[in-house]
């Protein structure tokens, strides 16, 4: 390869284990779908693509390594850099637009549900200046390292701030699920605090679970003024409010429980429609026959 063709890249290394085998297959399948999709869709460049992949031979076995274009920090880390732990409304609006473009692309072109929408999976591209800074620092002051069982372990070095940023992209397709297989999907998906009602109630789910994920990050500025001028202003809940819309925390047990999560949903949105409960395999676990919440 000529020097002019060299570029900085990011590597994602999968450790060899049975628990990650399915995740790797899912992620590679999504990247193939992305590569074979239309370049004209406006959401094509709102998702991370794969440059290449290779197998890494080690004493503990073969490990798959994915090669990506260089990205910087996630929306979550950028939010946490702000002393008030929030993002400005213009930044949130742009991030939200990119997220919906990415989801429309994944759903319409790739026929997959992401199932893990959160701030940590939305990253900003960066120019090469941050890596140039890193190289100079390593040359002048190499990172400390040690040998552990014949493996070289390096001390992490903090990255600098890029001179220029790109538009946010949606990443991490290890939990993505193809939905064009004609099957009924009831898998247990999503982070606890972003879990869709269908998942909790054991109802066959589809692309709408991603929209619920986004919905948990989006709320009207004033719920009681819907229809008024204020209802036109929307914010990303986690990024703007600095807290989660739903937590599912059961104060009696001090842990997450589906019952507590459903209670929070109902308190904000009202009871679920009978048509939804009629399809729920776990209806009796949370509701009585007439649709009232079970107290047990």
d(CA 186, CA 208): 13
d(CA 44, CA 197): 29
From the list 87, 67, 68, the residue with the least C-alpha distance to 77 is 87
Which entry of 25, 116, 180, 210 is annotated as an active-site residue?
Answer: 116
Is there a contact between 260 and 267 (Cβ–Cβ < 8 Å)? no
Query: Measured between alpha carbons, how far is residue 259 from residues 190, 192, 250 in Å?
Result: 16, 12, 8
- Check if 116 is active-site: yes
Quote the Cα angle for 181-183-184, to 5°.
Answer: 145
Structure tokens at 48: 């991370």
Query: Measured between alpha carbons, how far is residue 111 from residues 36, 75, 181, 182, 186 in Å?
Result: 12, 25, 9, 11, 17
Place of tokens 């929070």: 264
d(CA 260, CA 270): 14
From the list 106, 133, 123, the residue with the least C-alpha distance to 38 is 106
Q: Pick left, alpha or beta for residue 254 (phi over 0 → left; psi -120 to 50 → alpha; otherwise beta).
A: left
From the list 243, 16, 27, the residue with the least C-alpha distance to 115 is 27
d(CA 110, CA 40): 13
Which sequence positions are flagged as catalytic?
116
């Amino acid at each position: 390869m000529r020097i002019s063709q060299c570029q900085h890249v990011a590597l994602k290394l999968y450790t060899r284990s049975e628990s990650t085998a399915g995740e790797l297959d899912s992620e590679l399948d999504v990247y193939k779908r992305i590569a074979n999709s239309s370049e004209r869709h406006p959401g094509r460049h709102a998702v991370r693509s794969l440059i290449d992949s290779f197998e890494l031979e080690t004493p503990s076995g073969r490990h798959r390594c994915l090669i990506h274009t260089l990205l910087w920090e996630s929306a979550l880390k950028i939010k946490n850099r702000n002393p008030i732990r929030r993002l400005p409304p213009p930044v949130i609006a742009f991030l939200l637009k990119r997220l919906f473009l990415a989801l429309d692309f994944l759903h319409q072109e790739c026929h997959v549900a992401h199932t893990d929408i959160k701030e940590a999976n939305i990253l900003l591209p960066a120019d090469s200046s941050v890596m140039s800074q890193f190289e100079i620092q390593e040359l002048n002051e190499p990172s400390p390292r040690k040998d552990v069982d014949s493996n070289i372990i390096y001390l992490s070095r903090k990255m600098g701030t890029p001179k220029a940023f790109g538009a946010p992209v949606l990443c991490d397709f290890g939990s993505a699920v193809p939905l064009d297989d004609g099957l009924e999907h009831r898998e247990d998906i999503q982070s606890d605090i972003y879990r869709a009602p269908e998942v909790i109630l054991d109802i066959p789910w589809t692309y709408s679970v991603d929209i619920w994920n986004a919905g948990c990050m989006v709320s009207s500025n004033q719920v009681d003024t819907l229809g008024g001028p204020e209802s036109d202003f929307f914010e990303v809940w986690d990024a703007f409010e600095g807290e989660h819309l739903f937590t599912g925390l059961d104060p009696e047990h001090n842990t997450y429980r589906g019952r507590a999560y459903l209670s929070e949903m109902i308190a904000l949105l009202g009871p679920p429609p009978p048509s939804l409960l009629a399809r729920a395999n776990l209806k009796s676990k949370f509701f009585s026959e007439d649709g009232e919440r079970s107290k047990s």
